[in-house]
């Protein structure tokens, strides 16, 4: 049904047998035993579609080997899922700062585990439908991720980004410079996001000048503030001296009336189900559009968070 080769290594042989039974029933092929000191060599030669392992099976070098996999130019494209014992050291995992595809803690239901595995495998195959400018997944994938999280009752923040006056900038300077701004926005989001100890966060390019981040709770407001600060500083580099002197464009319309368009600004809406129920993608998108509209009604770059509880 799904097809794919998975390397699954764990310290509990009974769990390995149970998970292998579930995964093979839907046509996954499983490798569950290799010489662990040779894991990097084995992976390079076999390149499975996913790596699922408990770092404890690799003894004291477990987390370091995980880091080696994620830093390898060939292996880093393979999704890595960690299976952690019930009493694992959370601080240790945070300290090594591994950007893994997923973390699953024991005990878990093997059939529920199958759902998470297939979800992560689907995400890795999005390379065939990436947005051309940024190589990011688009709106359809954000919708899928949010539908999954709402159905699974997971808590999340979704940050929606939009640029005010991008259209007139694009028309005045041309598409090439407009594309440079889009790439700049993506770079700022990516760089700022990397500074925070967030277990799960993914960036999406919704098309044109619109981006989104789906992430764990906790850092969205500070992240939004930092991104806005960087954007307001860097956007000035994309305007010519004449427009900078006038703090924007002065354009005469067909009726001969001059209209001023200020320097481009960034608007951000933060949607969260931390304190209210959001049942599906449509509800999240609707709240996000509402927040962006409100943010755009005010001057300057700013973020707005939905703080309603119902």
* Position 134 in a domain: no
Angle between helix axes 39-46 and 62-71 (nearest 10 degrees) is 30
Greatest CA separation found in the chain? 79
* Position 242 in a domain: yes
| pLDDT given at position 130 | 47
Q: Of the residues 91, 107, 129, which one is the last residue of a structural domain?
A: 129
CA–CA dist 55, 88 (Å, integer): 10
* Position 144 in a domain: yes
* Position 151 in a domain: yes
| pLDDT given at position 123 | 66
Residues 111 and 86 in one domain: yes
Residue-wise pLDDT for 22-66, tens only, equals 888 878 888 887 766 678 888 888 888 888 888 877 665 677 888
Residue-wise pLDDT for 85-112, tens only, equals 776 655 556 655 677 888 888 888 877 7
Residues 110 and 236 in one domain: no
Q: Of the residues 107, 129, 151, which one is the last residue of a structural domain?
A: 129
CB 120 within 8 Å of CB 79: yes
pTM across the whole model: 0.62
* Position 173 in a domain: yes
* Position 310 in a domain: no
Residues 28 and 112 in one domain: yes
Residues 207 and 285 in one domain: yes
* Mean pLDDT to the nearest integer, 276-304: 94
* Mean pLDDT to the nearest integer, 77-84: 85
Pairing relationship of beta strands 80-84 and 50-53 according to DSSP bridges: parallel
What's the CATH code of the domain at 253?
3.30.70.270
* Position 116 in a domain: yes
Percent of the chain with pLDDT over 90: 42
Q: Of the residues 129, 148, 174, which one is the last residue of a structural domain?
A: 129
Residues 100 and 156 in one domain: no
Quick check: 298 pLDDT over 50? yes
| pLDDT given at position 93 | 61
Q: Which of 105-114, 144-153, 251-260 has maximum average pLDDT? A: 144-153
Q: Considering its fold, how many domains does the chain have in total?
A: 2
Segment among 17-26, 47-56, 253-262, 286-295 with least mean pLDDT: 253-262
Residues 59 and 121 in one domain: yes
The domain containing residue 46 runs over which residues? 4-129
Residues 102 and 167 in one domain: no
Residues 244 and 297 in one domain: yes
Q: What is the phi-psi region of residue 222: left when phi exceeds 0, alpha when psi lies from -120 to 50, beta otherwise?
A: alpha
Please tell me what DSSP assigns to residue 297: T
Residues 69 and 190 in one domain: no
Per-residue pLDDT band for 128 (boundaries 50, 70, 90) equals very low
CB 6 within 8 Å of CB 49: yes
| pLDDT given at position 114 | 82
What's the CATH code of the domain at 54?
3.40.50.2300
Per-residue pLDDT band for 72 (boundaries 50, 70, 90) equals confident
Tell me what the pLDDT averaged over the chain comes to: 86
Quick check: 126 pLDDT over 70? no
């Amino acid at each position: 049904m799904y097809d794919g080769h998975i390397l699954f290594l764990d310290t509990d042989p009974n769990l390995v047998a149970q998970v292998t039974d579930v995964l093979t029933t839907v046509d996954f092929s499983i490798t569950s035993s290799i010489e662990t000191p040779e894991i990097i060599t084995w992976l390079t030669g076999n390149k499975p579609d996913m790596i699922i392992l408990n770092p404890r099976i690799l003894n004291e070098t477990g987390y370091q080997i995980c880091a080696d996999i994620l830093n390898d130019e060939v292996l880093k494209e393979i999704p890595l899922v960690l299976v952690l014992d019930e009493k694992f050291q959370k601080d240790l995992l945070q300290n090594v700062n591994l950007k893994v595809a997923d973390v699953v803690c024991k005990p878990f239901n093997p059939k529920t585990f199958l759902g998470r595995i297939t979800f992560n495998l689907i995400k890795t195959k999005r390379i065939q439908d990436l947005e051309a400018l940024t190589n990011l997944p688009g709106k359809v994938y954000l919708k899928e991720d949010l539908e999954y999280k709402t159905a699974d009752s997971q808590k999340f923040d979704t940050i929606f980004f939009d640029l005010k006056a991008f259209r007139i900038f694009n028309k005045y300077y041309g598409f090439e410079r407009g594309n440079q701004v889009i790439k700049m926005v993506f770079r700022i989001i990516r760089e700022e996001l990397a500074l925070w100890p967030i277990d799960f966060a993914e960036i999406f390019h919704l098309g044109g000048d619109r981006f989104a981040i789906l992430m764990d709770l906790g850092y969205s407001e500070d992240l939004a503030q930092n991104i806005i600060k960087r954007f307001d500083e860097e956007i000035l580099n994309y305007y010519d001296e004449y427009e900078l002197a006038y703090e924007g464009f002065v354009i005469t319309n067909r009726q001969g009336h001059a209209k001023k368009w200020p320097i481009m600004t960034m608007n951000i809406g933060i949607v969260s189900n931390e304190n209210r129920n959001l049942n599906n993608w449509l509800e999240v998108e609707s709240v996000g559009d509402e927040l962006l509209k409100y943010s755009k009604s005010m001057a300057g770059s700013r973020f707005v968070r939905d703080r309603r509880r119902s």
